[in-house]
Amino acid sequence: MQEDIRRQATALQDHGAKSGIGTTVLQLTAVDFPTHNGVLVRASTDNVDDVFIGNADVTRGSADATDGIPIEPGDAVFIEIDNPNKLFVTSATADQKVFWVAT
């Protein structure tokens, strides 16, 4: 019984981190995980700059049509999306990191 509950809980969420974020746009994760609600993304408190999150063409405050959502160090954003692999991140400063959980 306990094994079944663990298996069900595992199937309801996935999580991870993305490090090495800098000026190159990176996919948040290659994991194909269909969500029920969306993805929570939190920027590391160790970051020294904002991380921008958006589509594959995400930019960092340079083009209204493609600018991502800025996430300040320690802050988080919840995005209603059907798969975390559709999210991309970038920053003006190298070696930034985010953590994510998909539900």
pTM: 0.88
- Give the percent of the chain with pLDDT over 70: 89
Tokens found for residue 94: 């190298």
Domain boundary assignment for the chain: 2-102
Which of the four pLDDT bands, split at 50, 70 and 90, describes residue 3? low
Which of the four pLDDT bands, split at 50, 70 and 90, describes residue 33? very high
Average pLDDT, the chain: 92
Between 3 and 73, the higher pLDDT residue: 73
Residue by residue, DSSP assigns 31-60 as -----SS-EEEEE-TT-SS-EEEESTT-BS
What is the architecture, at CATH level 2, of domain 2-102? Sandwich (2.60)
Per-residue pLDDT tens over the stretch 41-59: 999 999 999 999 999 999 9
Q: For the chain, how are helix, strand and coil distributed in percent, rounded to 5?
A: 15, 35, 50
